[in-house]
């Protein structure tokens, strides 16, 4: 297997004279290929590809065919530019995260990584316009997050499930309506916010601060009312975030968990057994909302967000502090909490299937408990079979 070019060689590739299309031209063509492009994929041995509705699609670009290793090395060098931190990260860790923008086209969250002796690049498209609640069709209860005075709000889900967009909409709602100091700590900065009623400062990992935990420590001395931490990555970050919430700050962050119950397990599980009981109490006391998201392909194209919402109530705080048991689970609380604005994944998916927004087979793939959801839809499936039988007569 060939040894990959060293990061300096990546940078040198960008500076070398070439007849190839410019990086900006390639990226512009990929973004403009179709409405709704979410990711750009640049990999040796493949043409430039974009992700549309969860499917990779090759993009025909005049003057650019199958990408060669030297093409992706050159593009990587252009993306990194003078960013010495990203260059060192690529050398030391084999991958680097950074932000990049093409003026008038879009901003991107970029990951460059070594693979099989070459470089590959994945670029997440960040819309230039900060999305609103209406744009994202978020449940109205989530506007309550923008009026909280303290506590922890977590948005969870797999990569690409829309967590950053949801948080951007909430932060913009606060920024628009409250004259407060807002501080974000991100890796990298995605949506760029402007000062509105609030004053907002955005710090980027590596360029503005070496770590989330260090930036959070510093934040406690910078007098913000609202703190957004890009991700709860480790024990120290979680602990400082809880302390910030306990001392009157409103803290937003993300976790890569699949639902509300797993979110609690993930937070508690970071700590040793001897510390888990008091941590349960702290999480129960400080959490305000746990919001979990899944993006599901729609009938006719596009995707729709299924959103699970766990809200802080006397019942949910008790279940977190004492632990779940039969008949006393967070899922039970969400099923019973509709009047308080709570909802659970399979209930949302059931409604989408009944409304024809997603098809039955797709709903089963994204359900938390496909067997139970199938039972809930027995009448719907029977009606479908009756309708099909009537059509064949």
CA distance 152 to 95: 31
pLDDT at 14: 45
pLDDT on residue 388? 83
Tell me the whole-structure pTM to 2 decimals. 0.85
Bridge partner residues of 56 (DSSP): 51
Is CATH 3.30.450.90 the classification given to domain 7-126? yes
CB 13 within 8 A of CB 90: no
Q: Of 262, 255, 333, 250, nearest to 286 (Cα)?
A: 250
Residues β-bridged to residue 126: 107
Residue 85's pLDDT is: 87
Closest among 74, 113, 77 to 93, alpha carbons compared: 113
Task: Give the model's pLDDT for residue 3.
Answer: 44
Q: Which CATH number fits domain 133-343: 3.30.450.40, 3.40.50.300, 3.90.920.10, 3.20.180.10?
A: 3.40.50.300
Whole-number pLDDT of residue 301: 84
Separation CA 130–CA 126 (nearest Å)? 9
Query: Domain map of the chain by residue range?
Result: 7-126, 133-343
Q: Say what the pLDDT of residue 154 is.
A: 98
Q: How far apart are CA 129 and CA 150, in angstroms?
A: 27
Per residue, the 3-state secondary structure of the chain, as one string, reads CCCCCCHHHHHHHHHCCCCCCCHHHHHHHHHCCCCCCCEEEECCCCCCEEEECCEEEECCECCECCCCHHHHHHHHHHHHCCCHHHHHHHHHHCEEEEEEEECCCEEEEEEEEEECCEEEEEEEEECCCCCCHHHHCCCHHHHHHHHCCCEEEEEECCCCCCHHHHHHHHHHHHHHHCCCEEEEEECCCCCCCCCCCCEEEEEEECCCECCHHHHHHHHCCCCCCEEEECCCCCHHHHHHHHHHHHCCCEEEEEECCCCHHHHHHHHHHCCCHHHHHHHHHHHHHHEEEEEEEEEEECCCCCEEEEEEEEECCHHHHHHHHHCCECCECHHHHHHHCHHHCCECHHHHHHHHHHCCCCCHHHHHHHCCCHHHHHHHCHHHHHHHHHHHHHHHC
Contact 7, 70 (CB under 8 A): no
Whole-number pLDDT of residue 4: 52
Q: What is the predicted pLDDT for the residue at 13?
A: 52
Residues found in the chain: 393
CA separation for the pair 240, 300 (Å, rounded): 45
The rounded average pLDDT for each run of 10 residues, N- to C-terminus, in the chain (393 residues) is 51 53 94 92 97 90 93 96 91 92 90 95 91 94 97 94 95 97 93 96 91 92 96 93 96 95 95 96 98 94 93 97 93 96 97 97 96 96 87 78
């Amino acid at each position: 297997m060939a040894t990959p070019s060293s990061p300096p060689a990546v940078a040198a590739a960008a500076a070398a004279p070439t007849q190839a299309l410019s990086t900006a031209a390639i990226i512009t063509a990929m973004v403009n290929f179709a409405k709704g492009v979410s990711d750009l994929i640049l990999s040796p041995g493949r043409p430039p590809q974009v992700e549309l509705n969860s499917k990779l699609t090759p993009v025909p670009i005049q003057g650019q065919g199958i990408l060669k290793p030297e093409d992706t090395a050159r593009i990587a060098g252009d993306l990194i530019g003078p960013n010495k931190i990203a260059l060192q990260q690529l050398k030391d860790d084999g991958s680097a995260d950074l932000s990049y923008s093409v003026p008038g086209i879009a901003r991107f969250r970029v990951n460059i990584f070594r693979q099989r002796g070459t470089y590959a690049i994945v670029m997440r498209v960040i819309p230039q316009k900060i999305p609103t609640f209406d744009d994202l069709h978020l449940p109205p209860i989530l506007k309550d997050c923008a009026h909280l005075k303290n506590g922890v709000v977590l948005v969870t889900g797999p990569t690409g499930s829309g967590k950053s967009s949801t948080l951007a909409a909430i932060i913009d709602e606060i920024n628009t309506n409250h004259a407060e100091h807002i501080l974000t700590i991100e890796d990298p900065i995605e949506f760029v916010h402007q000062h509105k009623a609030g004053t907002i400062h955005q710090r980027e990992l590596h360029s503005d601060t070496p770590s989330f935990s260090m930036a959070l420590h510093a934040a406690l001395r910078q007098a913000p009312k609202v703190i957004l931490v890009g991700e709860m990555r480790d024990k120290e970050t979680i602990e400082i975030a809880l302390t910030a919430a306990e001392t009157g700050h409103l803290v937003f962050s993300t976790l890569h968990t699949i639902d509300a119950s797993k979110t609690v397990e993930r937070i508690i599980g970071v700590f040793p057994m001897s510390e888990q009981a008091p941590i349960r109490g702290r999480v129960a006391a400080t959490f305000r909302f746990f919001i979990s998201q899944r993006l599901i392909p729609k009938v006719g194209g596009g995707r729709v967000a299924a959103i699970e919402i766990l809200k802080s109530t006397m019942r949910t705080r008790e279940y977190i502090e004492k632990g779940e048991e039969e008949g006393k689970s967070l899922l039970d609380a969400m099923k019973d909490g509709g009047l308080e604005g709570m909802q659970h994944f399979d209930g949302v998916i059931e409604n989408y299937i009944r409304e024809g927004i997603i098809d039955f087979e797709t709903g089963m793939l994204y359900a938390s408990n496909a067997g139970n959801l199938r039972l809930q839809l027995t009448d719907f499936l029977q009606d479908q079979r009756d309708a099909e039988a009537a059509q064949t007569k």
